[in-house]
A and B are shown apart, each in its own frame.
Chain A
Amino acid sequence: MSLPKPEELARVNYQPPARGWMEVKPDFRPGTYCNAASPKWLEWIDYPYPRAWSVADEDWQLPQNWKEIVLEGMEDRLARFRSLKLFFDICVRCGACADKCHFFLGTGDPKNMPVLRAELLRSVYKRYFTRIGKALGEIVGARDLDEKVIKEWFYYLYQCTICRRCSLFCPYGIDMAEMTLLGREMLASVGLNIDWALASVAQCYDKGSHIGATPQAFKDMIDFLAEENERITGIKTPVSYNRKGAEILFVTPSGDYFADPGTFTLMGYLLLFTYLDLDWTFSTYAAEGGNFGWFVSHEMGKRLNAKIYHEAERLKVKWILGGECGHMWRVCNQYMPTWYGQVPSFLEVPVSPITGTVFENARVHKMVHISEFTADLIRHNKLKLDPQRNAHIKLTFHDSCNTARGMGIFEEPRYIIQHVLPEGHFFEMPPNTIREKTFCCGSSSGINANENMELRMQGGFPRANAVRYVHERYGVNHLGCICALDRATLPTLLQYWVPEVDVTGITELVGNALVFEGEIERTTDLRDRDLVGVGEQEGGEEEE
Chain B
Amino acid sequence: MNFTQRHITVALAAVLGLIAVAYVGVQGNLQLLFGVVVPYLALLLFFEGIIYRVIKWARSPVPFKIPTTAGQVKSLPWIPRTLGDKLDNPESKAWVFGRMALEVLAFRSLFRNTRTELVSDPKFPEKARLVHWSYKWLWLGAIAFHYAFLIIVLRHLRFFFEPTPQPIALLSEIDGFWQFFIPTFYLTDIIIVLALLYLLGRRLANANLRYITLASDYFPLFLILGIVTTGILMRYFFKTDITAVKQLVMGLVSLKPVIPAGISPLFYVHLFLVCVLLAYFPYSKLLHAPGVFFSPTRNMPGNNRWELHVNPWNYPVKFHPYMEYEDQFRDAMYEAGIPVEKEPETAEVEEE
A residues sitting closer than 8 Å to B (CB atoms) are 6-7, 10-12, 14-16, 18-23, 46, 78-83, 85-86, 89-96, 98-100, 105, 110, 113, 115-116, 119, 130-132, 139-141, 164, 167-175, 178, 205-208, 214-216, 219-220, 241-244, 284-285, 298-299, 302-304, 306-307, 310-311, 314, 333-335, 337-339, 341-343, 357, 359-365, 367, 372, 375-376, 379, 404-412, 415, 430, 432-433, 436-437, 461-462, 465-466, 468-469, 472
Q: Using Cβ atoms and an 8 Å threshold, which residues of chain B touch A376?
A: 76
| Contact, CB under 8 Å: B89 / A408 | yes
* Extra A-B contacts (18), CB below 8 Å, given A172-B288, A408-B85: A82-B294, A86-B291, A96-B109, A140-B215, A167-B68, A173-B103, A174-B297, A208-B325, A214-B332, A314-B322, A337-B308, A338-B311, A338-B314, A408-B302, A437-B112, A465-B130, A468-B129, A469-B129
| Contact, CB under 8 Å: A139 / B103 | no
How far, in whole Å, are A16 and B213 apart by their CA atoms in the complex?
Answer: 13
- The residue in A23, A462, A468 that gathers the most chain B C-beta atoms within 10 A of its C-beta is A468
| Contact, CB under 8 Å: A242 / B294 | no
Q: Does B2 contact A (CB under 8 A)?
A: yes
- The residue in A95, A302, A362, A405 that gathers the most chain B C-beta atoms within 10 A of its C-beta is A95
| Contact, CB under 8 Å: A172 / B298 | yes
Q: Which of B22-30, B32-40, B53-61, B227-235 contacts A (4 or more CB under 8 A)?
A: B53-61
| Contact, CB under 8 Å: A99 / B115 | yes
How far, in whole Å, are A362 and B74 apart by their CA atoms in the complex?
Answer: 10
Give the Cβ gap from A126 to chain B, nearest Cβ, in Å: 9
* Binary contact track B91-131/A, C-beta < 8 Å → 1, others 0: 00000000000010001011011111010000110111110
Give the Cβ gap from A280 to chain B, nearest Cβ, in Å: 15
| Contact, CB under 8 Å: A363 / B322 | no
How far, in whole Å, are A363 and B333 apart by their CA atoms in the complex?
Answer: 34
7 A-B residue pairs with Cβ-Cβ distance under 8 Å, sorted by A, are: A80-B60, A113-B208, A140-B215, A169-B114, A216-B332, A410-B72, A466-B130
Give the Cβ gap from A173 to chain B, nearest Cβ, in Å: 4
| Contact, CB under 8 Å: B317 / A299 | yes
Q: Does B335 contact A (CB under 8 A)?
A: yes
Q: Using Cβ atoms and an 8 Å threshold, which residues of chain A touch B63?
A: 80-81, 298, 338
| Contact, CB under 8 Å: B292 / A16 | no
Q: Using Cβ atoms and an 8 Å threshold, which residues of chain B touch A333?
A: 304-305
B residues sitting closer than 8 Å to A (CB atoms) are 2-4, 6-7, 10, 53, 56-57, 60-66, 68-76, 78-80, 85, 88-89, 103, 107, 109-110, 112-116, 118, 123-124, 126-130, 132-134, 138, 142, 206-217, 283-285, 287-288, 291-292, 294-298, 302, 304-311, 313-314, 317-322, 325-326, 328-329, 332-333, 335-340, 351-352
| Contact, CB under 8 Å: A360 / B306 | yes
| Contact, CB under 8 Å: B332 / A215 | yes
| Contact, CB under 8 Å: B208 / A16 | yes
- The residue in B3, B103, B310 that gathers the most chain A C-beta atoms within 10 A of its C-beta is B3
| Contact, CB under 8 Å: B295 / A132 | no
Task: State the majority secondary structure of interface residues on A.
Answer: helix
Report which of B69, B115, B138, B310 forms a contact with A338, defined as CB distance below 8 A: B310
Give the Cβ gap from B67 to chain A, nearest Cβ, in Å: 8
Report which of A83, A90, A171, A367 forms a contact with B287, defined as CB distance below 8 A: A90
Q: Using Cβ atoms and an 8 Å threshold, which residues of chain A touch B217?
A: 92-93
| Contact, CB under 8 Å: B338 / A242 | yes
How far, in whole Å, are A173 and B112 apart by their CA atoms in the complex?
Answer: 12
- The residue in B2, B71, B212 that gathers the most chain A C-beta atoms within 10 A of its C-beta is B212
Report which of A91, A105, A173, A208 forms a contact with B109, defined as CB distance below 8 A: A173
| Contact, CB under 8 Å: B69 / A171 | no
Q: Using Cβ atoms and an 8 Å threshold, which residues of chain B touch A306?
A: 317, 319
| Contact, CB under 8 Å: A168 / B70 | yes
Give the Cβ gap from A374 to chain B, nearest Cβ, in Å: 11
| Contact, CB under 8 Å: B64 / A85 | no
| Contact, CB under 8 Å: B114 / A100 | yes
A20 to chain B: closest residue by CB: B3
Task: Given A93-B285, A405-B70, answer yes or no on A462-B311 (Cβ-Cβ < 8 Å).
Answer: no
Q: Using Cβ atoms and an 8 Å threshold, which residues of chain B touch A298?
A: 63-64
| Contact, CB under 8 Å: A83 / B66 | yes
Task: Given A169-B109, A432-B134, answer yes or no on A141-B308 (Cβ-Cβ < 8 Å).
Answer: no
Give the Cβ gap from B27 to chain A, nearest Cβ, in Å: 29
| Contact, CB under 8 Å: A20 / B310 | no
Report which of B4, B73, B215, B298 forms a contact with A409, defined as CB distance below 8 A: B73
Q: Using Cβ atoms and an 8 Å threshold, which residues of chain B touch A169?
A: 109-110, 112-114
Q: Using Cβ atoms and an 8 Å threshold, which residues of chain B touch A85?
A: 56-57, 60
Give the Cβ gap from A128 to chain B, nearest Cβ, in Å: 15
